[in-house]
Structure 1
Amino acid sequence: MCNVTFFQHKSCKHIWAIISTPCGPFMNFHTCPSFCDAPAGGSVIKATPGFYRTASRACPRCDLGGVYDRGAVRMVERMGWGLHWGLDPEGGDWAVEVRMGEARGCVIL
């Protein structure tokens, strides 16, 4: 499962995600099964990603004019978190998941 890092620009407040550690060669947002093949009930459970506020990194939407590799970078419209009670942190067991409101679910474009 690829590891993702989130950034928020201090000026424009846009948030974007990058794959900081791919799970294999040539894995990205288009090819990694952890992004492409989410289970029918929702998304794949991942460890809490890193989140950094930055002024030195270019905002993909503002500074790059929206021209960027969408396999490596994705803009995030909104974020939210939830809880998973079960034995398998990957979500492969019987468990209870509580998401903190549908309007707060993570949406990556």
Structure 2
Amino acid sequence: MCVVTYFQHKDCRHIWAVVTEPCGPWMGFSTCRGIGDGTTKQTPSFYRTKTRPCPRCAADMVGRTYDGNAVRVVDRMGWGVKFGAGPDEDDWGVDVRFAARGGACGCVVL
């Protein structure tokens, strides 16, 4: 399974995810079967940086696009807990997720 690392730029505060260790040649967000399959994964690394350019700001300033298979800009992030038979999405139970958007915090039960 591909290893994903999150970055947040210290100036613009944008967050993006990068496939830092692909599980095979040309594997990434669009091609790896292990990404987005609903199984529980290790908590990814999260780094605050000034040296790595933000892909959203770089695209706005220069007009470039980034490789969506290797890099994804994050719109929002959430955390939660699951009560039930197992950690995966298909396991019986109740998900309680917390998400912050636009300065407001909310709780969602799925």
TM, length-normalised to structure 2: 0.71
Runs of at least 5 residues in structure 2 that lack an aligned partner in the other structure: 106-110
Tell me: CA distance 1:74–1:102, structure 2 relative to 1, closer, same or farther (3 Å): same
The alignment status of 1:33 with 2:28, answered yes or no, reads: no
- Equivalents in 2 of 1:54, 1:101: separation in Å? 23
Give, as a single letter, the amino acid of the residue that structure 1 aligns with 2:48. R
Tell me: CA distance 1:11–1:102, structure 2 relative to 1, closer, same or farther (3 Å): closer
User: Which structure has more strand as a fraction of its residues?
Assistant: 2
Tell me: CA distance 1:73–1:56, structure 2 relative to 1, closer, same or farther (3 Å): same
Partner residue of 1:57 out of 28, 49, 52: 52
**Identical counterparts, % of pairs:** 52
Match of 2:108 in 1: none
Give, as a single letter, the amino acid of the residue that structure 2 aligns with 1:71. N
TM, length-normalised to structure 1: 0.72
Runs of at least 5 residues in structure 1 that lack an aligned partner in the other structure: 105-109
The number of residues matched between the two structures is: 100
- Tell me how far 1:5 sits from its aligned partner: 0.6
- Equivalents in 2 of 1:85, 1:25: separation in Å? 37
- Equivalents in 2 of 1:61, 1:76: separation in Å? 10
What SS does the corresponding residue of 1:33 show, helix, strand or coil? coil
- Tell me how far 1:63 sits from its aligned partner: 2.4
What SS does the corresponding residue of 1:61 show, helix, strand or coil? helix
CA RMSD of the aligned region, Å? 2.7
